[in-house]
């Protein structure tokens, strides 16, 4: 159940009856302070202005028409014309019960869409870097959230598996295979790539061969295809290990690399030319966009085919957008890459729309993110200035978590300790990223992310185990609980109830805006509100049985909500720590 949309609907009806126009917006928001009720309508003043009425008078007319029987116990006008809404206790109790009965915590249904999510997208024969880490983590949390809401999600791992560099990589792979009888280990992709490049740059015969292989690969030569496939497989096998360590849901089946679109490019370029969008310019094909200006203030040219016939990253993204709509029948497509690719994507999509490949209703969204910075505020690097390898980063996370957990928790078996270390170490890295507003740069700081205080994975995981431990100390079973009712007498119980029912709103926001930090903030608030409830309202020591059961039910729903929330973020929970 989504409180905000229920109230929006009701208040809007009342506003219309009071004379507002169809466009009016009730602007229902969660109240920041208890005295302003649980929700407030902030759109009354603006609507009053349009009707020419005095805002407070208009507000009181709205109140006369507002039908919130059974939903709100009180409504009032505040300040210049806000409406404060105090939810009804019985109504809250009923919905808490529904949430508890439902495996999806009574999050309301949405219109099912097919949504393609392009994320992670590393490059073949290269190590994943921190940018891919962000894309992977954030993209996966959004994917989980969309699936939770019942959407048909298609994961698209848009790997960089095509381009002229493959001639050189194939030639080098061949050389290595010839020199090392019995195959070879390609564990260090970065070194492999560098060595191939060095060879290419210094030996003309090798370079010649490499260029020849590019042509052959593009024309479907079997040997080159096999060698190319080997490179893709080796890279993706290694990346798959990282996905598994990261508790990320991507598999090999989700790969939709650049090579998939390559056969579609000649036709697209021809079509763009036929439509008069692409024009020849010095041998290349260029689309001039009025919407973008070059440094001389003239329409910016975007190359879709080079002089030598080669295609570009932009052409591939035009094809990818078209493919999402035409072939995958998607309603919406999201791409998670860093902010620096913003202009590129917007231009590709503008061309896609101009060419009429997708209708206006088809949503193309670049969900960009900022950079991961070191403590010095500069792009995150190793001490020697190199790129940080994902595997090394995760190893360090586990080492640090192990130290932390062995200092803190002594009552765990070795096996338990291992799973706590894994959940905390990996969880900390992921949560640190997810909890920040994705569009800004953020500072990667081990000490912060591994702290048991603040909006961190260890804090959230610990909060979860604390609730679990309440249930370990009681013999009340779920059956007894299910017959008891929610009784919201204390202010803290009520506050917790309202927060629990706002899970729906947090999840819907993440699905709409692709902002997992909203869900992090929500569960962090929830854990905080639970802890103050727990301090003020004795649960197991309560001598009133009815109250004890009601409070246990609140604890149970909190536990489920935390777990579900963390699960949507791809963060593991443990039973004790
Ligand atoms: N492989 C690219 C990179 O490493 C990211 C691709 C993002 N997706 C896209 N459709 N352009 O930067």
Dump pLDDT digits (tens) for 235-263.
Answer: 999 999 999 999 999 999 999 999 999 99
Residue 410 pLDDT > 80, yes or no?
no
pLDDT, tens digit (0-9, with 9 covering 90-100), for 533-566: 999 999 998 889 999 999 999 999 999 999 999 9
Q: What is the pLDDT of residue 84?
A: 97
Q: What is the pLDDT of residue 185?
A: 59
Give the Cα separation of 240 and 250 in Å (integer): 8
pTM: 0.95
Distance 1 CA to ligand 1 centre (A): 37
Q: What is the pLDDT of residue 181?
A: 56
Q: pLDDT band at 349, cuts 50/70/90?
A: very high
In ligand 1, which atom is closest to the CA atom of 338? 12
Residue 330 pLDDT > 70, yes or no?
yes
Instruction: Report the DSSP beta bridge partners of residue 379.
Output: 373
Q: Which domains does the chain have, with CATH numbers?
A: 3-87 (3.30.1360.70), 390-569 (1.10.730.10)
The DSSP line for 244-278 is HHTT----GGGB--HHHHGGGHHHHHHHHHHTTSE
Residue 389 pLDDT > 60, yes or no?
yes
Distance 121 CA to ligand 1 centre (A): 5
What is the helix (H) or strand (E) element at residue 429, kind and residue range? Answer: helix 414-434
Number of neighbouring beta carbons within 10 Å of residue 340? 11
Distance 59 CA to ligand 1 centre (A): 50
Instruction: Give mean pLDDT, residues 292-310.
Output: 93
Q: Name the residue with tokens 């194939």.
A: 170
What is the helix (H) or strand (E) element at residue 118, kind and residue range? Answer: strand 114-118
In ligand 1, which atom is closest to the CA atom of 159? 1
Distance 536 CA to ligand 1 centre (A): 51
Q: Are 294 and 80 in contact (CB under 8 A)?
A: no
Residue 135 pLDDT > 50, yes or no?
yes
Give the closest residue (by CA) to ligand 1 atom 5. Answer: 121
The DSSP line for 33-46 is SGGG-SEEE--HHH
Q: pLDDT band at 60, cuts 50/70/90?
A: very high
In a mutational test of the pocket of ligand 1, which residue from 117, 123, 158, 235 has the highest number of ligand atoms less than 8 Å from its CB?
A: 158
Beta strand pairing call for 284-293 and 299-305: antiparallel
Number of neighbouring beta carbons within 10 Å of residue 280? 11
Pocket of ligand 1 from Cβ distances under 6 Å: 118, 121, 123, 158, 160, 317, 320, 335, 337
Listed in sequence order, the residues at least 6 apart from 486 whose beta carbon sits closer than 8 Å to its beta carbon are 92, 93, 96, 97, 497, 550, 553, 554
Q: What is the pLDDT of residue 183?
A: 47
Q: How far is CA 223 from CA 120, 174, 229, in A?
A: 29, 11, 10
Give the Cα separation of 560 and 538 in Å (integer): 20
Give the closest residue (by CA) to ligand 1 atom 8. Answer: 158
Burial 169-199 (b: 16+ CB within 10 A, else e): bbbbbbebeeeeeeeeebeebeebbeebeeb
Token pair for 6 = 């229920």
pLDDT, tens digit (0-9, with 9 covering 90-100), for 138-188: 999 999 999 999 999 999 999 999 999 999 999 999 998 888 755 455 677
Instruction: Give mean pLDDT, residues 12-23.
Output: 95
What mean pLDDT value characterizes the chain? 94
Instruction: Give mean pLDDT, residues 494-499.
Output: 97
Phi, psi of 276 (to 5 degrees): 75, 10
Give the closest residue (by CA) to ligand 1 atom 11. Answer: 317
Phi, psi of 208 (to 5 degrees): -60, -45
Distance 132 CA to ligand 1 centre (A): 9
Distance 122 CA to ligand 1 centre (A): 7
Listed in sequence order, the residues at least 6 apart from 295 whose beta carbon sits closer than 8 Å to its beta carbon are none
Model ipTM value: 0.98
More confident residue, 383 or 77: 77
The DSSP line for 80-100 is TTEEEEEE-HHHHHHHHHHHH
Phi, psi of 459 (to 5 degrees): -60, -45
In ligand 1, which atom is closest to the CA atom of 317? 10
In ligand 1, which atom is closest to the CA atom of 337? 7
Q: Which stretches of 473-515 are DSSP H helices?
A: 478-483, 491-501, 503-513
Distance 317 CA to ligand 1 centre (A): 9
Within a 13 Å sphere around the CA of 206, how many CA atoms are in the beta-carbon half? 19
């Amino acid at each position: 159940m989504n409180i905000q949309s229920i109230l929006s609907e009701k208040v809007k009806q009342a506003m219309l009856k009071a004379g507002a126009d169809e466009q009016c917006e009730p602007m229902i928001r969660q109240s920041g302070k208890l005295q302003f009720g649980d929700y407030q309508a902030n759109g009354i003043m603006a609507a009053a202005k349009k009707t020419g009425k005095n805002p407070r008078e208009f507000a009181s007319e709205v109140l006369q028409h507002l039908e919130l029987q059974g939903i709100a116990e009180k409504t009032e006008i505040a300040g210049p014309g806000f409406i404060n809404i105090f939810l009804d206790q019985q109504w809250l109790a009923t919905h808490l019960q529904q949430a508890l009965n439902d495996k999806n915590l009574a999050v309301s249904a949405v219109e099912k869409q097919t949504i393609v999510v392009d994320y992670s997208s590393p490059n073949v024969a290269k190590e994943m870097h921190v940018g891919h880490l962000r894309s992977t983590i954030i993209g996966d949390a959004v994917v989980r959230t969309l699936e939770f809401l019942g959407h048909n999600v298609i994961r698209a791992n848009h790997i960089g598996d095509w381009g002229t560099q493959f001639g050189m990589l194939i030639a080098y792979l061949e050389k290595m295979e010839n020199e090392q009888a019995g195959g070879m280990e390609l564990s260090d992709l970065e070194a492999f790539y560098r060595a191939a490049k060095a060879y290419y740059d210094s030996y003309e015969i090798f370079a010649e061969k490499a260029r020849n292989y590019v042509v052959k690969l593009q024309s479907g030569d079997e040997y080159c295809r096999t060698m190319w496939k080997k490179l893709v497989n080796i890279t993706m096998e290694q990346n798959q290990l990282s996905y598994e360590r990261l508790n990320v849901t991507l598999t090999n089946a989700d790969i939709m690399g650049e090579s998939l679109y390559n056969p579609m490019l000649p036709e697209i370029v021809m079509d763009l030319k036929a439509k008069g969008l692409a024009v020849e310019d010095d041998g290349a094909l260029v689309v001039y966009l009025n919407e973008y200006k070059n440094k001389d203030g003239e329409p910016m040219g975007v190359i879709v085919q080079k002089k030598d016939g080669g295609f570009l990253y932009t052409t591939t993204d035009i094809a990818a957008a078209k493919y999402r709509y035409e072939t995958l029948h998607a309603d919406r497509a999201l791409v998670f890459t860093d902010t620096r690719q913003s202009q590129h994507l917007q231009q590709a999509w503008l061309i896609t729309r101009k060419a009429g490949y997708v209708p206006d209703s088809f949503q193309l969204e670049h969900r960009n993110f900022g950079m991961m910075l070191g403590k010095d505020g500069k792009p995150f690097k190793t001490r020697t200035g190199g790129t940080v390898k994902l595997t090394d980063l995760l190893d360090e996370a586990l080492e640090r978590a192990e130290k932390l957990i062995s200092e803190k928790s002594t009552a765990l078996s070795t096996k338990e300790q291992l799973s706590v270390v894994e959940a905390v170490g990996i969880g900390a890295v992921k949560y640190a990223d997810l909890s920040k507003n994705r569009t800004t740069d953020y500072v990667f700081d081990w000490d912060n992310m591994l702290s048991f205080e603040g909006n961190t994975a260890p804090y959230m995981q610990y909060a979860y185990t604390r609730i679990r431990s309440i249930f370990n100390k009681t013999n009340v079973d779920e059956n007894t609980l299910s017959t008891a009712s929610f009784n919201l007498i204390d202010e803290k119980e009520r506050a917790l109830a309202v927060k629990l029912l706002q899970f729906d709103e947090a999840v819907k926001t993440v699905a709409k805006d692709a902002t997992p930090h909203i869900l992090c903030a929500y569960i962090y608030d929830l854990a905080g509100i639970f802890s103050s409830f727990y301090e003020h309202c004795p649960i197991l020591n309560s001598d009133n049985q009815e109250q004890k059961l009601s409070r246990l039910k609140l604890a149970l729903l909190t536990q489920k909500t935390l777990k579900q929330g963390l699960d949507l973020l791809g963060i593991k929970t443990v039973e004790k720590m």
